[in-house]
């Protein structure tokens, strides 16, 4: 039964286009609407800017770009975005939200695993990645590659957006009840605090002791639109446990690690991992936080799906211990069950995953 509050599913997102509440410069890609989100596409130009900025309640993004842009990059045939630089790209999609509907954005999973820092900006914004109820206007994406230079082009999809009506978050008692009935994380005694359910780190590794990867510096470019194009070892250093149960995170190095627990998102719910939790340490644990309905759901082919973690320590070295809590998942109600679940015939790249790099790399 449909709810009055919750996250919009795929059919409702399509209806926003039909009603003119969502518009775009070109027709939607066939796989652009996901079970609980919409992929956002880059427009034809990127503005290299001096620094990241927040428009504030009195300014349009275009006005800020006129003052802060260094040069304009044509994306129509593809272009390289360099590490350490900040770019603002107008997106193809534009919103005219109803008064009772808000939205939030997040990097796509592949974007986070490439250490591409992205944030959606709106006119008069006072928060990144948050679109207030009733917003009408353009969308922009701030892009800052951190580890690898990347190739993007008009139509590339680095970010995604979710739409919600009213309050959708599950309370801690609701989370506990849902876990007891559906097993949200593979833990007999889940830690449910701070409005979320905890995940811990796996530093025991697989049969060979592989626990993760550390990004290399001074690499070739990664084309964000091409799968299995790059050799893993040209870009990543494998990390092995060697019998130890800890890992020292070097400041500002980028790591791909994996949760100890498998994660389950039942069909009538969506989840998101909090990107930074000061209660567990001075490091960021997840850049791309959306988990769609059906992730880890056995009937959708997801039994045993674990959360891949994009980890970066801040300021000082930090020691991670095996089984240490590194983040929390919050769950939200869907307005209705999506017509297609994550992994169910959608070609989802990360269903039933363990430790896995982004789709761009091959062994």
List the catalytic residues: 142
End-to-end CA distance of the chain: 45
Is the separation of the CB atoms in 263 and 292 below 8 Å? no
CB atoms under 10 Å from CB of 53, counted, come to 18
Q: Maximum distance among all alpha carbons in the chain?
A: 58
Half-sphere exposure of 308 (CA within 13 A, CB side): 25
The CA distances from residue 25 to 34, 41, 91, 120, in Å, are 19, 10, 9, 18
Nearest Cα to Cα of residue 85 among 122, 46, 111: 46
Question: In angstroms, rounded to a whole number, what is the distance separating the alpha carbons of residues 29 and 52?
Answer: 30
Name every residue whose Cβ is closer than 8 Å to that of residue 306 and which is 6 or more positions away in sequence: 202, 258, 259, 260, 261, 262, 263, 353, 354, 355
Is the separation of the CB atoms in 142 and 87 below 8 Å? yes
CA angle 285, 212, 294 (to 5 degrees): 60
246, β-bridge pairs: 321
Is the separation of the CB atoms in 240 and 210 below 8 Å? yes
């Amino acid at each position: 039964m449909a709810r009055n509050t919750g996250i919009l599913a795929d059919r409702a997102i399509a209806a926003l286009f039909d009603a003119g509440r969502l518009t775009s410069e070109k027709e939607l890609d066939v796989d652009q609407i996901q079970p609980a989100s919409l992929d956002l596409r880059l427009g034809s130009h990127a503005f290299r800017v001096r620094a990241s900025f927040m428009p504030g309640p009195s300014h349009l993004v275009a006005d800020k770009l006129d003052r802060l842009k260094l040069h304009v990059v044509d994306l129509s045939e593809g272009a390289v975005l360099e590490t350490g630089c900040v770019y603002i790209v107008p997106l193809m999609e534009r919103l005219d939200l109803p008064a009772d509907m808000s939205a939030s954005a997040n990097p796509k999973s592949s974007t986070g695993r490439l250490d591409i820092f992205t944030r959606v900006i709106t006119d008069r914004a006072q928060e990144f990645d948050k679109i207030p109820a009733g917003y009408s206007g353009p969308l922009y994406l701030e892009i800052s590659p951190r580890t690898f230079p990347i190739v993007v082009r008009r139509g590339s999809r680095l970010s995604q957006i979710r739409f919600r009506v009213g309050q959708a978050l599950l309370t801690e008692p609701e989370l506990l009840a849902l876990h007891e009935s559906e097993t949200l994380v593979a833990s007999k005694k889940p830690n449910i605090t701070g409005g979320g359910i905890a995940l811990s780190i796996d530093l025991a590794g697989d049969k060979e002791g592989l626990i993760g990867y550390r990004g290399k510096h001074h690499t070739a470019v990664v084309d964000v639109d091409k799968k299995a194009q790059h050799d893993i070892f040209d870009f990543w250093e494998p990390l092995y446990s060697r019998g130890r149960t800890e890992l020292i995170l070097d400041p500002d190095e980028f790591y791909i690690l994996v949760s100890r627990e498998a994660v389950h998102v039942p069909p009538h719910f969506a989840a998101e991992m909090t990107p930074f939790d000061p209660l567990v340490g001075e490091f960021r644990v997840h850049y791309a936080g959306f988990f769609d309905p059906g992730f880890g759901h056995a009937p959708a082919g997801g039994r045993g799906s674990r959360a891949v973690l994009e980890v970066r320590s801040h300021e000082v070295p930090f020691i991670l211990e095996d089984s240490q809590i590194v983040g929390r998942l919050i769950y939200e109600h869907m307005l209705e069950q999506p017509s297609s679940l994550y992994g169910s015939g959608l070609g989802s790249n990360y269903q039933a995953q363990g430790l896995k790099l982004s789709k761009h790399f091959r062994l």
